[in-house]
Structure 1
């Protein structure tokens, strides 16, 4: 019997029988190419991280005698670099948290207040637009442009004398720089926080807020009972963004704290000089310190990851 003849006498098209197989082969080839491309991109981003991680577990001779991305052998494996890095950065971890956490929370709250006032208040649009334009303009001011005015501004503020009652408790006056960093980061982060919250509040149900107003709720009560509980996803976005920016900032700390020998030196300032000596740079120690410094930001991403994804998608 012919391959093109059915048992009931009908004919089967040869081209029709080959079409599904050809389509399947085409789909498989596309998926293979797609996955290979994704794996290549993934390797491109992960190889530097992997190289830094394996380097942190090597001795100094192991770093110079092996490839950067090669895992450490038992002869060159050590945990001493991590212990040394943690001992050197422990003080900086505490100091960075002292200004990064309050600056992040305060800037997020103030940004939420400002965005709520711009979007949900009864102001006329001609008043809202210039204020919003100022916030947007504040986002594009680079750090480098404000370093000199910032230094001059804090030199004119007698903050150290004003906080004399704090230093009387036995706290080092070097922590004046921590207070300055809190205020500076709040002021510099307020524009981006406001713009992010505004985009979120613009999509919020106006009928729900209007119903609360008709029931006699004041603007503060509407914010406290309705807007604030619904702002969780955007708070996660702002907190992660602000904390990462503040924790990793080096320019402001160089201007306001200046030296790693200060009692209030943040972790980024100590990390900048970690592993440097007359004999050269200890790359394993620097890599271990870099991963220790990155752990708090990683923890924040893990804590607010689900809300962050929801806030970005909104």
Structure 2
């Protein structure tokens, strides 16, 4: 059989297989797929509009719809270069507090949840602690702004305690970065603890009971058994915490204040990017928004499989 005949036979087989698939598809499945396609388009249109806008010239933005292509003469990458130059410093500052705050809150949440789940506690002691932790999740950011400001500025004065760091040439504005780390750890600890506790309650206790019978301490059980099995939930918590901390603007405005500060995070610089007396530079703002979102996207991609496993656990 020649190559042409083999290709025709393969094509015939594929067509026949496709016809059988279409015949076996019920009307309900067709409606379901149509709804899914419409929903996917609904959620992707804003992303497409933002990307298209970020590569348009100012003339193309005025002359075309937000989701329409810019045309051959309306494409420019100048706004992306300007956005990267403006946000690169803020990106580094955001990583300085987002990464340690995420890791510390995840580790402390895991240890706290283990202490509230595995050891045998009297209900009279455990219930109030869990209630306080759950209550901490529902405290809005706005409710703590005034006491938070007083705590750092009047009671702690962390800039004075870190004078040896400023003596090395580091601007004292970076005291706000330290304050952001501690604030986000404290505010994120309740939700991290609750997520880990929910995961640990579903964990099989046979290995843990066997280890305890063999004389293993609570610390050894956690280090050798519980912690290695906590990978999927760590992925969930790390993604959630990193996204929340990276996108937070309210605490940043209170503790760092101005985008001109050497320690200004990326969200603070992004808030004023493209704004001027002449109006809004929408292409620059869209380019900056997509550039600022790259770290969160990278975290989702890196921990994607573990995140899916942790959510389904």
Establish whether TM, by shorter chain, passes 0.5: yes
* Aligned match of 1:240: 239
Tell me how far apart the structure 2 counterparts of residues 51 and 231 of structure 1 sit (CA, whole Å).
39
Q: Report the alpha carbon displacement of residue 71 of structure 1 after superposing the two structures with TM.
A: 1.6
Number of residue equivalences: 291
Cross-structure match for 1:226 = 225
The reply on whether 1:203 has 2:202 as its aligned counterpart is yes
**Cα distance in 1, alignment partners of residues 273 and 86 from structure 2:** 8
**Deviation at 1:31?**
2.0
The Cα of 1:202 is off from its aligned counterpart by: 0.5
Following TM superposition, by how much is the alpha carbon of 1:121 offset from its aligned partner in structure 2, in angstroms? 1.4
Deviation at 1:205, TM superposition (A): 1.3
Q: 1:38 deviation in Å?
A: 0.8
For 1:63 and 1:275, locate their aligned partners in 2 and report how far apart those are by CA, in whole Å.
Answer: 14
Q: Cα distance, 1:134 vs. partner?
A: 0.6
> Highest CA radius of gyration, 1 or 2?
1
| Structure 2 residue 59 is the aligned partner of structure 1 residue 61 | yes
In structure 2, the partner of 1:92 is 90
| Alpha-carbon distance in structure 2 between the residues aligned to 1:248 and 1:166 | 27
Shift of 1:28: 3.2
The answer for the alignment partner of 2:107 in structure 1 is: 109
1:35 to 33, 36, 51: 33
Distance, in Å, in 2 between the alignment partners of 1:133 and 1:253 is: 29
1:47 deviation in Å? 0.5
1:282-301 equivalences under 5 Å are: 282-301=281-300
In the TM superposition, what whole-angstrom CA distance separates every residue of 1:168-191 from its partner, at most 9, and x where no partner exists? 111010000000000000000000
| CA positional deviation for 1:74 | 1.7
Residue-by-residue CA offset, 1:110-149 (whole Å, 9 max, x unaligned): 0001000000113212211110111000000011111111
Aligned match of 1:146 in 135, 139, 144?
Answer: 144
Q: Which range moves more in the overlay, 186-195 or 113-122?
A: 113-122
- Residue 82 of structure 1 corresponds to 80
Cα RMSD after superposing both structures: 1.1
Could you tell me how far apart the structure 1 residues matched to 2:218 and 2:227 are? 12
**1:213 Cα shift?**
0.8
Which residue of structure 1 aligns with residue 303 of structure 2? 304
Secondary structure of the structure 1 residue equivalent to 2:72: coil
Structure 2: tracts of 5 or more residues without a match: 1-21
- Per the alignment, residue 20 of structure 1 pairs with none
Matched residues in 2 for 1:29 and 1:304: separation? 37
For 1:76 and 1:245, how far apart are their aligned partners in 2?
36
